[in-house]
Each structure stands twice: as C-alpha cells, then as structure tokens.
Amino acid sequence: MNKPPIKHFLKFDDFTGEEIEYLLKRADFIKKRFKNYETWHPLQDRSLVMIFEKASTRTRLSFEAGMLQLGGAAIYMNTRDSQLGRGEPVEDAAKVISRMCDIIMMRTFEQSIIERFAAASRVPVINGLTNEFHPCQILADIFTFLEHRGPIRGRTVAWVGDANNMSYTWVQAARLLDFQVHISTPPGYALDMSRISEAEQKHLRHFEDPREACRGADLVTTDVWTSMGYEAENEARAAAFANFCVDEQMMALASPDAVFMHCLPAHRGEEVTAGVIDGPQSVVWDEAENRLHVQKALLEYLVIGRVPT
Ligand code: CP
Ligand code: NVA
C-alpha cells in the first residue's frame, strides 16, 4: 500500500480549509456507518500511542475507543511512569516510539514539546491539547454545529472567558473556514495579539462586555476559568472572571436558535450556569460524543490518506 506523506495535526491551521471540510464529511459518513453497526476496519494491525502530560477523560477515551472501532489498538502512556518524565530527551523518545506504532497523540503542556516531538517522529502526531491549542476539540465543535445548524461559514461564535487553548484554536478555525469570533475576556486575560495573524484578526472582534459579545451570535461558548497547568492562579482568576459566567441573560441576547457549547469538564456556577449547560440550547453531550467520530476520520486520514466516500 502507498503510505501518504507524513502530516501532523499540531494546530488547526496545519490543515487547509478543504482538508477540514473533507474530515467533516468523512466524520459524518463514519459516524452514520458506526451507528448502523457496520464494521469499518481500515486500521487493522495499526496502533496509536497516546502520551499524556496532563489529565484527560474525553480525549483518552475517544482516541482509545476510536482506534478500536477502526480495527486497531491504542496504547496509553503518561509522563509520570515513562522515561519521558525522567528526562529522556523528547527527540530520542519520538524516534523510539514512532518506530513502534503508526500514529501518536500527545497532550503536553508547552506546544514546543509536541512540535519537537513531531519533528523527530517517523509517524503522524496529533495534538490532544497543549497550553496553546486544542484542535481536535474545535474539529468536534464545528462538526457538532454542522449537525445542529448547518455549515459554520458566515456564522458568529461568541467566546466568553479565558483567552486559552480553545479560544486561540477558534481564531485559527475562523480564518480557515470563514466565520467570525466575538471574544470577551476580563481585563488582564486578553488574547496575546502577537499570536494572531493579520488574516486571523479580520475574523475577530473584541468586546469589553460579554453580553455584547453574545448579541446575535449563532454559537455561544466558554471554558474553565483556570486551565490545566495554571492552578496557582485559581483564586485570582475566580475574582477576575466573576462577570464572565454564561447565563440565561447572555443566551437570550444571542440568536434565538443559538447553541451553547463547552468542551468539558465544566464548573456550574462559575463559567456557566446550570440552566444554560443543562438547558435546551446546550449541545455539550453531542459535542463530547463527536470527539470520537471526528477523530476517527482524522486517524484514518493521517494513517491511510483519503478514502472516497
Ligand atoms: N474536552 C477535553 O479535552 O476533555 P478531557 O480533558 O477530558 O480530555
Ligand atoms: N482549557 C482547558 C480545556 C480542558 C479540556 C484546559 O486546558 O484545561
């Protein structure tokens, strides 16, 4: 079999808009077949190694289940009980691990670690979340929007809260797929504009008042106030973000058919009220499930390439 050239998914814009569109279509096809109990094992005898520096429920489970459903196997590693946590150079680990599997998924603190790992890897590497980006989650979010409301092109996403890995990934996706992001962050927690290209800035509007960011939006979304790795800032963040809880009032300002998303885990009463996350506009459970389906399309694409649908 002709193997496709190595491609990594370390950030959303490692792919073209056309590739993302392909993955969304493919995810839909794979999901429907799976729901119909049809077997699809393109990755038989193939293995995924998953390396975690941080905790995870959804990412680990969706990659592990997804790989099994595609006919392959997934191997879990973490930095606490592997040599990676004891100072083995990232490049050495990448050279060894990538000789023993067909694809790798990593969740690291710094993006620079996964970039170094990928540069030394013989097989594709997928970002399962870093401090800087969470591309698999945004792929699932856009797929979920597509299922509920149609294509995201030309729509408006309101981001309320921290300028974190999720928000930077939304901005990359907005340029690639041509939609708008309205962002509202508390003073002192704004996006670092040096990380946002001029082309991306055209898809971004800042709002002091989170309510204004939500006005007319098609999708309202938020995330924890304190991401993994920033726990020392917990108290200061709780005070700074007090006005940035997505509540029923904010949802009422959004488009009447707006959906609410949260990558989870969530803290009811902090970044979102129970009324919103457990309410009729929330699609968070579909959003979580769709990690499985989009990542199956991603695994298939990176290991064997395009499959005509
Ligand atoms: N949303 C998400 O990535 O969840 P986990 O941290 O549980 O993997
Ligand atoms: N921004 C959060 C997402 C968790 C899935 C974090 O990085 O902890």
Does 203 have pLDDT greater than 70? yes
Q: How far apart are CA 131 and CA 112, in angstroms?
A: 10
Strands 103-107 and 125-127: parallel
Catalytic residue annotation:
107, 134, 137, 223, 263, 291
Reported as a pLDDT band with limits 50, 70 and 90, residue 153 is very high
Minimum CA distance residue for ligand 1 atom 2: 58
Please give the pLDDT value at position 1: 56
Please give the pLDDT value at position 303: 98
Alpha-carbon distances of 75 from 51, 103, 242, rounded to whole Å: 9, 11, 40
Does 116 have pLDDT greater than 80? yes
Q: Please give the distance, rounded to the nearest whole angstrom, from the Cα atom of residue 2 to the centre of ligand 2.
A: 37
Q: Model's pTM, two decimal places?
A: 0.97
Q: What is the mean pLDDT of residues 161-182?
A: 98
> pLDDT tens-digit profile of 118-131?
999 999 999 999 99
| Structural domains for the chain | 8-134+289-304 (3.40.50.1370), 137-283 (3.40.50.1370)
The answer to whether the CB of 59 is under 6 A from ligand 1 is yes
Q: What is the mean pLDDT of residues 240-258?
A: 98
Minimum CA distance residue for ligand 2 atom 2: 227
The answer to whether the CB of 291 is under 6 A from ligand 1 is no
DSSP 3: P
Please give the pLDDT value at position 65: 98
Query: Which ligand 2 atom is at minimum distance from the Cα of 263?
Result: 5
Reported as a pLDDT band with limits 50, 70 and 90, residue 5 is confident
Q: Which percentage of the chain shows pLDDT scores above 70?
A: 99
Nearest Cα to 163, choosing from 126, 138, 211, 195?
Answer: 195
